[in-house]
Amino acid sequence: MNISGRVLAGLAAPASLRLVWLAPFGPPGFVFVARPGEATLWLTREARVLTDVPAADMLESLTGVALAPEDLRAVLTGCLVPEPRPTAGRSYGDLVAVDLQGGAVAYLRRIGGEHHLVAGTRDRLQIEYGEFRRHIPRRVRVLSDELVAGSREPLTDLTATLFEPDINVDIPDEAFVLSDDDIPDDVMPMTLDDLRRVSPLEAPPEPSSSR
């Protein structure tokens, strides 16, 4: 999956999420909100709305990465999992591998006198972290273990660059809900299969060069 876009994200514990795809001009391409037990995705250009589907399934259709809101928050903030509980550890040179309860593995390296999470594995995903500022990674790369058929390329290779992240900011609960008043009357419901066919974040293929 080849995707491209600029997204305004708001995440809050324990499991609330708001993603707004910022189009180059005009209104947002989509608004995706979730909180425990409910999620809504509004495709503004297509005038379609998806509800009654787990947030992780919606996110997988958008990005190729099936993570629930609490897991996405942990991955993007450099925690890897919501509640990391070490069970074992070992060293490989300057790299320390820490097994976490639930099967995830965190890889830490000493940078500037402190250990930083530089990589991790969880849920058949490989995650790489870089460009740390104030203990927060500004670059997060997520690769799937699953490969494209007939190649050695990962089926999903997603890099998120975090610009000006604000930590410990109170986000009102209303930000994680789309009410009937927020969505126009002409918006039609859609299914998860419909979303997979639309792929709003997928970048168009590069034009082939001709001679």
pLDDT tops 90 at residue 83: yes
Tokens 């305004």 belong to 8
- Average pLDDT, stretch 167-175? 91
Global pTM value: 0.87
- Average pLDDT, stretch 93-106? 96
**What pLDDT score does 210 carry?**
47
**What pLDDT score does 168 carry?**
82
Predicted confidence (pLDDT) per residue in 120-149, tens digit: 999 999 999 999 887 889 999 999 998 888
- In the chain, pLDDT over 90 holds for what percent of residues? 67
Say if residue 14 is preceded by a cis peptide, omega within 30 of 0.
yes
Q: Domain ranges in the chain?
A: 1-74+169-211, 78-166
**What pLDDT score does 133 carry?**
85
**What pLDDT score does 166 carry?**
85
**What pLDDT score does 43 carry?**
95
Between 42 and 164, where is the model more confident?
42
- In the chain, pLDDT over 70 holds for what percent of residues? 92
The confidence band for 211, taking pLDDT boundaries of 50, 70 and 90, is: very low
Describe the crossing of helices 55-63 and 69-76 by its angle, rounded to 10 degrees.
50
Tokens of 158: 């997603």
Please tell me the number of Cα atoms within 13 Å of 167 on its side-chain side.
Answer: 12
- Assess contact for 163 and 3: CB atoms under 8 A: no
Secondary structure of the chain: what % helix, strand, coil (to 5)? 15, 40, 45
